[in-house]
Every structure is written in structure tokens, then in C-alpha cells.
Amino acid sequence: FFAVHSPADSSAETLDLAKISEKLEKQEVSIASVEDTQIQPVTLESIQSNHPETSVWNLLQDLPEQVDPKDWKLQIVNELFPLKEDITSPLYVGIDGQTYDERIKESVQAFMDASEKENYKLKIVSAYRNLATQTANYQSYKQVYLQQGLSSEEAEKKAREYVAPPKTSEHSLGLALDIVTQQWDQGGKGLVEDFAETPEAQWMKTHAKDYGFILRYLKGREKETGYQFEPWHFRYVGKEAADYIDRHGLTLEEYVVLVYAKNGIELTYKVDEDLKVE
């Protein structure tokens, strides 16, 4: 939709955000009603605000020419976009006995093989979880806080700090992996932010893109993702998308909005009460 120009092409037109928006067809998408949460739907305006060092125009120009916003690798699941039902794509039981989408098994293997060559002993501690399992996890956390005397509303809010509510975890796509080190896991340290300081976590953050993965929940980007910083959570998006996302410091939510714009569509949002996660 937006022609790609060479950086040396001084005749190339540069459009500001208003002019870009004028050229785009508006497409309304439904989002769930969300209360007491920091997540907000991403727009071209919010992308520009988050990345003042560049421009939406430059980001669009740098996108590959042929990108499908409905590519299975780019599906977003969070509190705004809950998963309605369990996935039907084939699953594969692979490394560390974990289950994930069969289509990513070679990428997972390559990622883990590369870490071993660096003498890093990684362990996948969580991957695919169906909706029933995710619901059970959430309810168990909520029950703990109810037993501590919190109200139902308070217990839900507290539980959300540690586990995604039903239908809102991208682990249910089979494309997400929680990865720590064998030593970290054996030491019972759990999934905590301190893991980011380990050499293994830093290596994964740097090299995940080489195998089609991104560090999904970045520090300071909670407003777009709805999640606190998780240095252990990696999401498969494919090499091309992973390289672009990493290079520009984007969230997956921002990338998808840009891909739609590249295809001539500006997303707008409408709350659908039927999508609300209970």
C-alpha cells in the first residue's frame, strides 16, 4: 500500500500521521470490556508517542512489502482479545516434555541447540496450556487470596498479577515458551524478574530473533501488552517479524497495527460486552 523508497531517494514523499491516516481505510474491530487494568488498544498515534525517535512513516517504509496481518504467527491473545476456543492446529510434545504448536518445533529445537553451543543449560518450564488448564490455574490463585480474607474482586485483582485470566493467555496458542535455566529451575527460584540479570536471559533476549522468537513482555510496555516484564516469556512470530520487532523495539501489538496500516487499514476499536472475560 505504501511504496517503499530507497533512503537515498530524496524525492520520496514523507507523510505525517494525519496524512497517513487519510490514506487508510478504517476497520473497526471488537475488543473485550476491561476494568481495573492498564492495557489499552494500540493505535498509530500511540505508536508514534512511544517511539519519538522515529516516525510511523519510517516504520511503515521499513516493513516488508508482503506481510499478512492475519498470519497465524501474529495472532494476539490478551484481555482485549480473548481466545474464544481451544486451538485446532496440531500440537507436538518436544523438548523437556513440553507441548507446543507442531509448526514451530524446528525453530524451538534450533533455539535450544544454539544455547547449548554457548554452554547454556536452558529449560522450557511451560508452553501450551489449553483453556481449561489456564482457567484452573487462575481459579487456584484466586482461591488462595479468598482464603486470606480478600473479597472476590480483590482476589481476582491479586491473582491477575501472577496468572492470566481465562482465555487471555497466549500460552493457549501453543506459540509461547517460558524458558529459564536448569539451575534456576532446580533452585526453585520461580518466574521472577531477577532472571533478567542472568547471562542466559541476556543471551536469549539478544538471539531469540535469529530463531523467530521475541521477548514478548518488555519492561515499561505494560500499557500495550497488559503484562508486567517477563524475561522468561518468548513468543514465536517468525524470523522476519522477530527481526523487525527487535530492531525497532516494538511490542507485537504495535507490529500488528503497523502491518494492517501497510495493507491500507487503520484499526479502530469497539467494546463488545459479549467478549468480557469473567
For residue 83, the domain's CATH number is 3.30.1380.10
Instruction: Specify whether 123 is located in the same domain as 45.
Output: yes
Does some domain include residue 136?
yes
Q: Nine-digit cell at 55? A: 516516525
Q: Nine-digit cell at 204? A: 536469549
Q: What is the structure's pLDDT at 13? A: 61
- Give CA 267 to chain center in angstroms: 18
Instruction: Specify whether 100 is located in the same domain as 154.
Output: no
pLDDT tens digit at each of 278 positions of the chain? 555 444 444 444 678 999 999 999 999 999 998 776 678 999 999 999 999 999 999 999 999 888 999 999 999 999 999 999 999 999 999 999 999 999 999 999 999 999 999 999 999 999 999 999 999 999 999 999 999 999 998 999 888 878 889 899 999 999 999 999 999 999 999 999 999 999 999 999 999 999 999 999 999 999 999 888 999 999 999 999 999 999 999 999 999 999 999 999 999 999 998 887 76
Q: What is the structure's pLDDT at 34? A: 77
The whole-angstrom separation of Cα 81 and Cα 78 is 5
User: Residue 206 in 3-state DSSP?
Assistant: helix
The whole-angstrom separation of Cα 141 and Cα 38 is 20
The whole-angstrom separation of Cα 239 and Cα 211 is 6
Instruction: Specify whether 134 is located in the same domain as 209.
Output: no
Instruction: Specify whether 144 is located in the same domain as 214.
Output: no
Does some domain include residue 49?
yes
Say which residues have a Cβ less than 8 Å from residue 135's Cβ, sequence separation at least 6. Answer: 166, 167
Tell me the whole-structure pTM to 2 decimals: 0.93
The whole-angstrom separation of Cα 205 and Cα 46 is 24
Q: What is the structure's pLDDT at 8? A: 45
Instruction: Specify whether 27 is located in the same domain as 135.
Output: no
- Beta bridge mates, 92: 100
End of a domain among 112, 144, 166? 166
Instruction: Specify whether 94 is located in the same domain as 54.
Output: yes
Does some domain include residue 2?
no
Q: What is the structure's pLDDT at 38? A: 73
End of a domain among 112, 147, 166? 166
Instruction: Specify whether 183 is located in the same domain as 149.
Output: no
Domain that holds residue 139: 130-166
Instruction: Specify whether 198 is located in the same domain as 182.
Output: yes
Q: What is the structure's pLDDT at 276? A: 79
Instruction: Specify whether 135 is located in the same domain as 113.
Output: no
Instruction: Specify whether 228 is located in the same domain as 145.
Output: no
Does some domain include residue 106?
yes
Does some domain include residue 3?
no
Q: Residues 125, 96: contact at Cβ < 8 Å?
A: yes
Does some domain include residue 108?
yes
Q: Nine-digit cell at 268? A: 479502530
Instruction: Specify whether 84 is located in the same domain as 32.
Output: yes
Q: What's the total number of domains in the chain?
A: 2
Does some domain include residue 8?
no
- Angle among Cα 111, 113, 114 to the nearest 5 degrees reads 65
Instruction: Specify whether 161 is located in the same domain as 196.
Output: no
Q: What is the structure's pLDDT at 186? A: 94
- The burial of 159, by beta-carbon neighbours within 10 Å (0-12 exposed, 13-18 middle, 19 or more buried), is given as buried
The whole-angstrom separation of Cα 15 and Cα 21 is 10
Q: Residues 198, 251: contact at Cβ < 8 Å?
A: no
